[in-house]
Amino acid sequence: MSSASIDKRIGYVFDSLMEAHRGGMGHPERPSRIRSIHQKLGERGLLERVRIVAGRPATDEELFLVHPRVHVDRVMQFGEEGVLKSALDGGEDSEGPYNPSTEDEDEGEENYVVTARPEKSYIFPFGADTYVCKESPMAAKISAGCVLSLIEEIMDEGSPVDRGFACVRPPGHHATTSEAMGFCLFNNVAIAAQALRQRYGLQRVAVVDWDVHHGNGTCEIFAEDPTVLVISIHRFDGGLYYPGTGNWTEMGSGDAVGYNLNVPIDGTYGDEELQFAFDKFVLPALSSFRPEFILVSCGFDACVNDPLGECEVTPQCYGSLTRQLLASFEDGRPSRVALVLEGGYNLDSIAASAEECMRALLETGEADETEPLETVEGSSPNRLRSVPLGEPKSSLIRTLHNLTSCLSALPTNMNIPVVPLPRRVSNEQPSCGASGLS
């Protein structure tokens, strides 16, 4: 495919109005995140090769697919005249400003433009990490609505689009049905999954979350729904890493036990761990579940140089995983995949990772070498990963062995081979003490 050709199968959605959601200079979830991605994709000529999908605000009824009215109203009230000022003047909803140890000094921050505005024009009503300003409610609605616009384009029988990327913020995967947290106000991916189920009648929707943090909100929302397979791969550190949930023993409840799955990794990790988890667990699970649509909670905060994740995943790995998800559709099923931006706080890393994912969406199997590859320090110079990966962490192998062993004993339709333990990993009997398991 030449660099000038257009692949109308690929959708891309972005709206600059989401940049109006802003807190203090020291906060990592800032407008320049999506701007850096959008600019990079434009500079690399990728936006000329895809179908641009118009964003829009989600309606209240669409938000109600996941969130109760009381939660939606609580978020939206801060967009009303006078409410934010009242909170800033000492109202009960103000919990004080985010206080970083230093001002923003991230490399690549030169594109971050600070708009002049009154000091303390934002508050933290949902805990110490999640801010709102007067423009935040509408930005959050647009973030959710952009994802809905993308899935509508993909599901439109008259459109050739069957995959795409949503460059959105604020992110969503930490938001539960009734609680905003972890920089998230509404759960964009969960709303999209419910729309696919209720509006389009899909019976099997999969959510793959590779953000460095556990997708606790999405897991909670679908904990009792066997029609939505949720798989979260994340840093865990024995429950000490934010948000502290997502152990492998958490598998859902009721009829959904075995369809709400977690792959926790202790300590930093890289390409070896993500690829091993895909090979031994994610891809077999998708093959067994046979989803009609895959939504990806596409966080890039496990990428090299991320200040929060502190992991070593390369941008090329994210591109490779995207190709593997596209190839996972079998038996002639349409390869419907939507990547939805979640976390990622180093501007260079997230821009490079988004570029790799977009190139993967554009590819038909062979690597696209029409443009030279710019690498992030510490990442692979080869898009095809011709250099063999090393061994994954022993703790991850043990976790997947325990998880697959327990799943094999469940009365579900999921058929995932048990991951064997090599000799170098101690042979322990798994304790299947998951919620909903006897």
Active site residues: 174
Of 133, 308, 130, 155, the residue nearest 217 (C-alpha): 130
DSSP 82: T
Bridge partners, 208 (sequence order): 231, 296
- Residues 321 and 429: their CA atoms lie apart, in Å, by 31
Of 53, 75, 26, 33, the residue nearest 341 (C-alpha): 33
- Residues 399 and 254: their CA atoms lie apart, in Å, by 23
Do 255 and 226 contact (CB within 8 A), yes or no?
yes
Q: At 17, list the tokens.
A: 């109005």
Do 246 and 220 contact (CB within 8 A), yes or no?
no
Beta strand 132-133 with 260-265: parallel, antiparallel or unpaired? unpaired
SS3 call for 322: helix
Phi, psi of 220 (to 5 degrees): -65, -45
Rg from Cα positions in the chain: 21
- Residues 246 and 143: their CA atoms lie apart, in Å, by 25
Bridge partners, 181 (sequence order): 184
- Residues 227 and 224: their CA atoms lie apart, in Å, by 9
- Residues 438 and 432: their CA atoms lie apart, in Å, by 8
DSSP 370: S
SS3 call for 220: helix
* Cβ atoms < 10 Å from Cβ of 253: 14
SS3 call for 122: strand
State the burial class of residue 212 (Cβ atoms within 10 Å of its Cβ: 0-12, 13-18, 19+). Answer: buried
* Cβ atoms < 10 Å from Cβ of 118: 8
Q: At 401, list the tokens.
A: 């062995």
- Residues 29 and 180: their CA atoms lie apart, in Å, by 14
DSSP 277: H
